[in-house]
Each structure stands twice: as C-alpha cells, then as structure tokens.
Chain A
C-alpha cells in the first residue's frame, strides 16, 4: 500500500509538470487554433538558459522560478514576432509545420550551445526531503504541484475575469467577429505565445531541477501531448488536470508493469480515449456546419 501511495505522489509531481506544458498547448490552441509542436523545446531552451544564469549569478529557489517564467515568456514573444506573426492567416497545416521546424531548430541549438552531456541543476534546498503523512517527498516536487495549482487558478481568473482573457476566448470562438469588434488577433496571439512559453519555461526548469538537465528535456513536450489530448485541446484547465491523470497513470504502469510500457502508456491511454471521445474529456464537441 505504501508503495502504491509513493507511486501516486511521485506521479502527481511528474503529472504537474506535464500539466503545465499541456496548459501551454491548450492556451495557444484556444487563441490561434494551432498546436505548437515546439512547446517542449521552448521549455528546454528556457531551462538551459535559466541554469546558465543561475550558475553564473547564484540565484535562490524562488528567484530561479521567476527567472524561468520571464525568460520563457520573452522567448515566446520573440518566436511569435519573428516566425508566427507573418504566418497569420495561412492554412493550419502550414502554421503547424512551421512550429515543427522551429522545434527542430531550437532542439539543435541547445545541443550545439551546451553539448549533449547531462548537467545537474543545483537549487538551494530543492532536494530537502519533507515528511507528509509518513511519505518522504522532495521540496521541489511539492513546489511543482503548488506551481500547477497556482497556474490553474491564475488561468481561470485570467480567462474569465480579465479583459485580455475575454478577448482570447472571443478570438477562439469566432475570429472574424472578434476582429470586427476591435480585438487585435495579433496581440492575442502574442499574449498566448508569451504565456504558453512562460508555462513551458516554468515546467522545463522545474523538470530540470528534479530530474537533471539533459538535451532530452524536450521530450516533456511529447509526454504532455497525451495530457492535452485527454483534456481536449481547447480546455486550458482540463489540460492542467489531465496532466495529473497522465502522470499518475504512467507512474503506476511503470511501477507494476515492464518499464517499456511506461514510455507509451500515455499514448495508449489517449488512443483509447480518442476512440470514445474524439474531442477529449473536457473539450468542446465540434459541430460541423456546411
């Protein structure tokens, strides 16, 4: 029983990271109708830059998280302005393929700049083990779960109460009408990319703190796909929550079944879910009109 609870708790920690990335996917999808395949790579680049800054300046725990979010947002803004903005209005297929191109480029840049060997992302106090109800858990893992809760709450407030959040939902619902009402699609896209990339940066940095910094951090993006698909691409909060489901499920499979299954368990889960609900658990059903 104790083993089971341990698996669930560490699954929640991993799942929280997936959830953060998955929320980023959903934010961009909701605002612009495309999937950003470079999400994991943006997280990785941010994690590496944060690590580089942190080892140079020697920043503490909270400051590192803050730096990661800001760097991620800046990276998102740059990518949006240079690469995505000119693609506004192009067919979805082209825009998605551009993000795939971006992903490949970012991934290689990291390896060229920092090499392929793994690094340890040292943050003071992150590895301290605290005891919660008899289960030892690392401070960084608690931090990840708190970060996800804060992000979900923040996005809920942002989407339902702020002017920009409402504009974003308007663009998602009907782009043409939103533009006629004076909403700037380009600005909504910029904010979506900045916030999604900020989330990815946060997730990437936290992942690196817990599991070490390697050029494979980008796989976070691949792992978070099932979470987004499970939650439904257009449901930001649902994606955050589904991250937890995927994390726990994956950890349980890895704990009780052969380890090769762990890698693909998320994908198998979504294949099953998609056959039953092609628009995800929390997604809006697509109604086709001719």
Chain B
C-alpha cells in the first residue's frame, strides 16, 4: 500500500497515472497483446479483432454519452456513415486506403455537427429521439442512393494495403486494429483530462453551472459530437474491412443498443469501463453458448436456432441487471477487487 504520498503540483493532478504498478501492468498487457497473434489460433484472434474495433466505436459513444451526458440512440448511423465513406472512397472514388480511412472519420464528423445543432436546443430524451431519427434517415438515404451506395446489395471491399503493409492476413489485420485501438484509447484518455474534456464533464454534471463558469455550451457540445462521430466512423470503417462487405444489414439498430449496453455495463464515463464492458459484452454470447453446450439437450438446440434473439436477451438482461444492482458497472467491481488485492490482509 502506498502512503505518505502527496500531490504538490497541478500537473501531478492531471497525469494519466502516477503509479509504477499501473505502468508496469499496462506495459505487460501491451506486450501480451502484441505477442498474441504469434501464440493464438485464428478463432480467438478474430474474436480479439472484433473486441478491438468494437472498443473504438464504444469509445466514440463514451465521449458523447459518458463524458457529455448526451444520450444517443443513433450511433449506428455514424458507424454506417464511416463504413460507407471508406467503401465509397476506395471503390467509387479510387482513393488510396489511407485517405479513405481519413474520409471515414471526416464524413461522420461533419454529419455529427449537423446532428449536434439540434442538440443545442433539445434536452435529454428529445435528443435521444432526434439521434434515433438520424440513424433511420441515414439508412433510408443509403437505400435510396442507387448505384453509388449500392442500395440494398451493399459494397464489397477488399482488405487494403496500408502504409506498405498488406492487411489481408488475419494477423496483419489484428495488428492494424490493435494500433488503431491503442491510438483511440490514448486519444480518449488525453481528451478526458484536457481542458475540453473537463469542460464536457462540467456540462454533463450541470450545464447551467458550467455556463456560468464561462464554458461555451455551443462550442463544446458540437465538439463532443464531432469527436464522438469521428471515432465511431473509424470503427465503422474497420468493421467494414473486417466483414469485407458494407451493407445496410450489417449495421442493424441492435448495434446502437449493444454500444449503450457496453457503456452501461462497463460504467458510464470511464475509459477503463469501456474496455471492460466491451470485453464482457462481446464475449457474453460466446460464454453463454459454451455454457448451454455443457448443459446440452434442448437448450443447445435453442441456442443454434435463435442465436440472434438469445444475444439480444442477454444484452437486455445485462443492461437491466447492472443498472438495477450495480450502477457503477464493471469498473466499480474492478475497483473493489483492486482494493481487496492492495489492502490484503487488512480490510481497509
């Protein structure tokens, strides 16, 4: 246990971590993640890839809902815009993949600004419904886009060659996702502790008080939408690359719910929570089907016939359960565990 330790300067309050133990563990985790493709089989590896690009999207939602307190039910709209921006950039406009990836952040960000403007006048639930409307409008316009957007059939894309590295192999793609994910985590963590991030937290906790302290609501709410949409858009592009096809069906409304479930289960407004929540929710259906396979019999049949429904029931129950019994989410449980670990054998 650390004691006799005082923070004396302002910058010491702002650093991401001052604990050598946390630094050491982070390095160990990163080393493990980098070594993973050499050791793991392709099934586990593709699962980890899914977790990585989901995490990027969830971080986008964390900026908006977790930091700024604006509820969005339409994040799948940004995800779709990002994926389509990338796919159209590569196949229709013939851009290099690096530029198309940039485009997949820029296009949703601009649309985020457009959605953000109503948010200045709307409160809470009205905003949630506006974002819901936005995601429906995105779906409808893509379906109406004819040849350019591929309408109902979608656009096939190949895994690109980026910065001279061929991403068509599963290992290479995993490494690409890992790099993007680490970047996204760093961006979000630093965003959170910067002046902007602290302003967003102030808006979440009490917007009138924040305003009297000189925070420009218009600018910061729009900025939150911009950053959130850009991150989500990049996640959409990564998802498109992973699936090798971008179509309206691969972005169902359930994804918005899944993202919300992750943010809630992990613990609102925390990057660590987003990471834990993503791992939990993405592996939840897999764990559950493994459990059912052990139990066997009719339950296993049910698992194979209606996998999608079981998945949704699990998400729903996870949301309800965590909000009902432990609103702090997984992050709270993590803190309790760490407390026990650090203080053992004492209780406090």
- A positions within 8 Å CB-CB of B: 29, 34-35, 83, 86-87, 90, 92-94, 96-98, 100-105, 107-109, 111-112, 222, 225-226, 229, 233, 258, 260-261, 263-264, 267-268, 270-271, 274-275, 278, 286, 288, 290
Contacts and interface: CB of A to CB of B under 8 A. Distances in A.
Given A112-B302, A274-B121, A97 B323 contact: yes
Interface stretch (B84-92, B137-145, B192-200): B137-145
6 contacts: A94-B327, A225-B129, A225-B133, A264-B136, A271-B130, A274-B126
Contacts of A278: 121-123, 126
A94 B322 CA distance: 10
B207 to A, nearest CB: 9
Interface in B115-140: 118, 121-126, 128-130, 132-133, 136-137, 140
A35 B125 contact: yes
| The 10 nearest A-B residue pairs measured at CB | A101-B319, A267-B133, A105-B316, A104-B316, A108-B309, A101-B320, A101-B316, A108-B312, A278-B121, A260-B144
B55 interface: no
Nearest to B211: A290
A151 B280 CA distance: 45
Contacts of B209: 290
From B124, B129, B130, B208, residue with most partner A Cβ within 10 Å: B129
Contacts of B122: 274, 278
A96 B128 contact: yes
Contacts of B309: 108-109, 111-112
Given A96-B71, A104-B257, A270-B133, A233 B125 contact: yes
Contacts of A107: 312
Query: Which size bracket describes the interface of B in this complex?
Result: 35 or more
A105 B317 contact: yes
Contacts of A225: 129, 132-133
Contact of A98 (B136, B208, B254, B324): B324
B208 A290 contact: yes
B121 A229 contact: no
B325 to A, nearest CB: 9
From B264, B306, B323, residue with most partner A Cβ within 10 Å: B323
Contacts of B130: 270-271, 274
Given A90-B327, A92-B124, A97-B260, A105 B118 contact: no
Interface in B26-67: none
From A92, A96, A264, residue with most partner B Cβ within 10 Å: A264
A274 B122 CA distance: 8
Contact of B319 (A97, A109, A233, A268): A97
Contacts of A86: 324
B317 A101 contact: yes
A109 B313 contact: yes
Nearest to A265: B140
B69 interface: yes
A93 B327 contact: no
Interface in B271-327: 302, 306, 308-310, 312-313, 315-320, 323-324, 327
Contacts of A96: 71, 125, 128
Nearest to B302: A112
A5 to B, nearest CB: 27
Contacts of A275: 118, 121
A66 B132 CA distance: 33
Contacts of A34: 125
Nearest to B256: A100
A86 B321 CA distance: 12
A268 B313 CA distance: 31
Contacts of A258: 144
Contacts of B124: 92-93
